[in-house]
Structure formats: structure tokens, C-alpha cells
Amino acid sequence: MAKLTFKTDNCKGCGLCVNACPKGVLSLAADKINKKGHHPVEAVAPEKCIGCAFCATMCPDCIIKVEK
Amino acid sequence: MADKVLMKGNEAIAEAAIIAGCRHYFGYPITPQTEIAAYMAKRMPKIGGTFLQAESEIAAINMVYGVASTGLRVMTSSSSPGISLKSEGLSYLAGADLPSFIVNVQRGGPGLGGIQPSQSDYFQATKAGGHGDFRMIVLAPASVQEMAELTVHGFDLADKYRMTSMILADGTMGQMMEPVSLDFKIAEPVEKPWATTGTQMKREHNIVNSLFLSPDVLERTNFERFKKYDTVCENEVMYEEYMMDDAEICIAAFGIAARVSKNAIVEARKRGIKVGMIRPITLWPFPEKQFAAAAEKVRAFISVELSMGQMIEDIRLAVNGKAPVTLCNRVGGMIPSPDEVLDAIIKVSEGGNN
Amino acid sequence: MVIFDKPHALADVPLHYCPGCTHGIIHRLVAEVIDELGIEGKTVGIAPVGCSVMAYNYFNCDMIEAAHGRAPAVATGVKRALPENIVFTYQGDGDLASIGMAETVHSAARNENITVIFINNAIYGMTGGQMAPTSLPGQITQTSPYGRDVNHCGYPIKICEMLSTLDGPEYVARVAVNNVKNVRAAKKAIKKAFENQVNGLGFSLVEVISSCPTNWGLTPEKALEWVESKMIPYYPLGVYKDRHADSNE
């Protein structure tokens, strides 16, 4: 299983990472609002992460760190 | 004293720039200053420098901006319409506090105007070089020797104050040939820790920039820049006084107009008219204290200009109503003859206060 | 083991771009390439006027902010003064293809040894969504409210196609950042554009088809679909010129 770390405060909730993820790991947190006022991304199914880094590749704000 | 060589004014500027350590020249052809580019095109490749004919004056001034950002000495030259195109770049250079050296060998205007000598870019050089609040050091040579000397001085001042200095010459000064001594003392190089030369991973990155979106920050940069300008005004005014000791009439003239005026003054003196001249060498900073002091002594001023009367406004401000200031001018590429200036002197001396 | 993290050359600060704007992806790709080539310490970047005007805050290398459209001229000055340094410009479509067209064409014609990253999102973003030189026929913008009428204001300019007709430039390529596959191809092209400069080969331009969700009036996801369905058909991806294509294979 791979590990994802988010700089949540820099997330703008654009959702490009959510769409890029092939495993349905990510979702925008409908019940959370970060400092910028966005619903930030969170890993709702972290156990499914395969560490492909598609999410980080598409993140325009470089907030995702991927480790394996 | 080194031997003198016979040179055109434009060539003297080019050679003096090389002596001053300038190894980068960018220009675009325009009469009457093309000799500078031609000289640089020949010389720069031989001394490991850059001569590049840009696609426009706008590109040339932005190439200057690029080299200036690296801290190296750099110049461009043009004539009036070309300087208008460069004015965007001049504003950015000022906004980013970059040193640069610019030559304007003026021709008649407005518009495409003509190709004969003029001084009608005085306002543009001293007051409105581009958008925003900024100043340039403006140097007005009146001989080929001064074309060279003020070039070296201009580079030194630009580095010292992180400003643009501009030679404001005219077609006559550019084209005339005179013997020149090229034996110059160059100021010690100025440290430029702000230059964008690569961090070498040893320091924070440098940013050359004129954008300040916070109004309070932009206000502060303007106030700080104008404090620097105050220092320039305090320390860098240059002028020549000619026969002013007993003068009752003071001519104000720079560049070619000052040379013509000297002849007229000699003739007037033969007729017993006590006339002298203050010749500003720096048009900005303007020798306003010298004119104010003269206003305590003389009874009238005559501004001799190759324009519709531009410097006359600065003289009137300096004189502050203490004496009348009249204009003696020719424009469009015409130059007043010594006789025309003499006539103006006689008219004023006979009590014509305008 | 770290598989993916912020590259060193990208500053650790929040970007000001709108949510889903792909400027951030392209910034990161440039920074990754700078890291991989180990050139951060000798790189000087030139920021444009437009949305990426503040790119000077986002790269850790030395940066210069240029006047609108003049970045290639500024880069020319820097590169001529410091030939051992690496110089890149980062410019949008208004900056590069409209007001700065002369600087673009002539720096390419001179084969100036610089790297140009050209962001084409078919709109002026910073000023609020006006028609760009690359806006598509029929595209609705603030200044083409009834759609870009080519009979009135002409056709979009295809920079790669145009520059590839010149003898000067070394490398001209068009990429996109609308999906993972294209982002990876974009990085490859950007890397080549920097490597060309390191190897002294000359002017290398990478046009990156990008999105503008805010001014296109689309969600970030729909904007990337618009890139695929509208932009790429008009601006086909590929290498338009590569003088050393054979030796690189």
C-alpha cells in the first residue's frame, strides 16, 4: 500500500486528482473547508492506493506527496 | 596626456562606452546616430563583446533590460522616434532600479519629423521618459570631447545610482568631427548583489521586477527611489558658466545651442553688452540653484533652444519671477545663427523685456 | 520511498492561480526538469505579463519580470551576457503570440539559445477573459461576446506551424496537459527544450495547450475535456521542428 500526504491548506478543491485516480482513493471533503475556503481533497479509500501518482501528476498546486 | 584622435561625436560615444567597460550593445538603425551601431558592429566582435541589431527599438531596450539585470554594463542608442519606442523599456528599467546607458541623438519632430538636429526631446528626457514617476540622469554634451567624457561618466552614474543615464545630443553633435582625448579614469566597479546571475545554490533567488501590487509597497518603493533622486540632485549637477562674473544678461543653452551662443556672446561683448551664459551639462538634475543665484544678479535671461521652448520652463521655475526669461529658438532641424542670437541679446539689452 | 514530491526548483508557496488552472502543472514540470538537469543554480527565468506574471515568486532560480511580450528580448540580453547560464521564458498566448510576436519570431529566427515555454489557453486570463490571438473560431470571450467571427477579427495564430517554417529554431513542439499521458509527454518535450540549450543547440519552444476553467466558464474537469475536444483538434500535438531529431533517437 502506498502513502499519500496532502498539503491540505494549499488545496483549491479543483478535483483533477480525484478524476485522475484509477482506484477511487480520493474525494473532495464535502464536510470540510480549508483556510482558502475550499473543500480539500482527502483519501477516502487509502488502502486502495497503488502509488501510481496520477493524482500528483494532475495536481496544479503540487500538494500531494506519494510514498511507497 | 594621451594623444588626441579625430572622431565623429557618435564614434566618440561608442569608443568611450567600450573604454567604460560596456561589452553589450543593442540597437536599431535610425538617422542620425547610425555611426554608433556601425562602430559597435565593427568593434564588439573583436573584443569579445555583443553587437546585436534588434528587430525594433522596443526589442533593443528590452535586451538592454536583460543584460542590465545581470549587472553588466550595457547600452543602446537611437534618435527621437526610436526613443519614443524605447520609453516603455525606460519605465521598466526605472521601476526595477536597473542601471543602463541610453543615447538620444535628437532629430526634429514630432512624428517622423526630419533628420536634422533638434533639442525638442528635452521634455521627454527630463520629465516624461515613460509612464510612472521616475527620473533619468540626462547629460548634454557640447563637444565631441564631452560626448566621450559624459559617456564614461554616464556609465559610472548609472551604476552608482542604479538608474538610467541618457546622453541627450543632437544630429550636429553626433556628426561633427573634433580631436578627442580618450584618456579616462573609470570609477571602481560597483557591487551588484541584486543581479540575476544564477543563485549557484548559495543564496536566495534574486528577482528583478517592477510589479508591486500592494499600493503601500509601491508607494514605499517610489518614496525610496525619490530619496535617491534627491541625492542625485544634491551631488551630480554639472554646468558651465561663461562670462557670468559681470553679466547683466544670462543666456541659457545646452549642446549645439550653447556653442552658437558663445559666438554671439563674444560679439555682444565687443559691443559693450555684458552678457554671459550658464550651460547646463546635466539637464536632469537641472542646475536650478545656479539659475536662482544668477537671478539675483542679472536683469534678464534668454533661453536659446532648438525647440519651441522646453528648457525655458525649468529656467522660469528656477528664476521664480525675479527676471524676465525670453526665448530665442529655431526648430524643425534649423539652427539659430550667432547673428540671430546676437539680435536677441541686443533686443533684450535695449530694454525689451518682452 | 518517495515516489512523488514537490521539486526543489519550485518554491514552497501557494500559487495564486484559479482552482484547476493548469499553469501549476506546467510550473511543476519546468521545475522538475530544472532539478533533473541540475541547473537551478545557473538558471535565470523570465516571467511574462499575464496570469503567470508572478511566476518570479514560484521558481527558486533567479527570475526577471519582463514587460508585456518582451520576454524573448530580455532573455536574449541575459543569454548574450551570460552564455553559460540557462535562460528560459514562460509566456502566455497574449504575451507571446500577440504583443510579443516580433520578439518571438526574431528570437526564433536568430536561433537564440534559450528555452521558451508557451502557454496556450486561448484567452487572456489575467484581465478577465478577452479574446486571445489563439482563441478558437466561434469562441465566446468578453471581447468576442457573439463568438470569434473570423470575418471580423481574423483567424487564430498557430505558433508552432508558423515558427517551424523558419530556418532558425532548433526545436518546436506542441504538447498538452489535459491528462496524465499528455502531462508526461509534455515533460519530455520541456526537458528536451532545456537539454537543447545545455547542449548549445539553440531556440527551443514548447507550446503547452492549457486550460482556463474560470474564463471558459467550465469546471476544471470540463475544461480539460474542452482541451481534448476543441483545442487539440485545432492545435494538433506533435514535434513541428527538430533539427537534431535523428541524433536524439
CATH number, domain with residue A49:
3.30.70.20
- Class for domain B240-349, per CATH? alpha beta
User: Do the chains contact at A61 and C213, CB–CB below 8 Å?
Assistant: no
Q: Which residues of A touch C1 (CB under 8 A)?
A: 67-68
What pLDDT, on the 0 to 100 scale, is given for residue B354?
Answer: 44
Distance from CA of C64 to the nearest CA of B (A): 5
What pLDDT, on the 0 to 100 scale, is given for residue C249?
Answer: 47
Question: Does the pLDDT of residue C225 top 80, yes or no?
Answer: yes
Distance from CA of C57 to the nearest CA of A (A): 14
The number of folded domains in chain A is: 1
Any idea what the CATH number is for the domain that residue C238 is in? 3.40.50.970
Question: Does the pLDDT of residue C130 top 60, yes or no?
Answer: yes
Q: Which residues of B touch C74 (CB under 8 A)?
A: 62-63, 65-66, 69
Average pLDDT over residues C64-85: 98
User: Do the chains contact at B66 and C64, CB–CB below 8 Å?
Assistant: yes
Mean pLDDT of chain C: 97
pLDDT digits (tens, 9 = 90+) for C101-120: 999 999 999 999 999 999 99
The answer to whether position C68 is within a domain reads yes
The number of folded domains in chain C is: 1
Residues B119, B171: Cα–Cα separation, whole Å: 9
Structural domain containing residue C223: 23-243
Structural domain containing residue A40: 3-67
Average pLDDT over residues C72-101: 98
What pLDDT, on the 0 to 100 scale, is given for residue B186?
Answer: 86
Strands A41-43 and A26-28: antiparallel
pTM of the model: 0.97
- Class for domain B4-235, per CATH? alpha beta
Distance from CA of B331 to the nearest CA of C (A): 34
The answer to whether position C1 is within a domain reads no
**R_g over Cα of chain B:** 21
Tell me whether chains C and A touch (3+ CB pairs under 8 A): yes
From C3, C10, C18, residue closest to A62, measured CB to CB:
C10
Among C3, C179, C211, the residue to mutate for chain A (most A Cβ within 10 A): C3
Question: B289-294: long-range contacts (C-beta < 8 A, 24 or more apart)?
Answer: B289/B237, B289/B318, B290/B237, B290/B239, B290/B241, B291/B250, B291/B252, B291/B315, B291/B318, B291/B319, B292/B318, B292/B319, B292/B320, B294/B244, B294/B247, B294/B250, B294/B319
What pLDDT, on the 0 to 100 scale, is given for residue B351?
Answer: 81
Answer whether the bond into residue B32 is a cis peptide, omega within 30°: yes
Where exactly are the structural domains of chain B? Answer: 4-235, 240-349
The answer to whether position C213 is within a domain reads yes
Domains B4-235 and B240-349 share a fold: yes
Residues B212, B198: Cα–Cα separation, whole Å: 23
ipTM score here?
0.97
pLDDT digit of tens for each residue in chain B (354 aa)?
568 999 999 999 999 999 999 999 999 999 999 999 999 999 999 999 999 999 999 999 999 999 999 999 999 999 999 999 999 999 999 999 999 999 999 999 999 999 999 999 999 999 989 999 999 999 999 999 999 999 999 999 999 999 999 999 999 999 999 999 999 988 899 999 999 999 999 999 999 999 999 999 999 999 999 999 999 999 999 999 999 999 999 999 999 999 999 999 999 999 999 999 999 999 999 999 999 999 999 999 999 999 999 999 999 999 999 999 999 999 999 999 999 999 999 999 998 544
Mean pLDDT of chain B: 97
The answer to whether position C175 is within a domain reads yes
Give percent of chain A above pLDDT 90.
Answer: 99
Instruction: Place C164 in a pLDDT band, splitting at 50, 70 and 90.
Output: very high
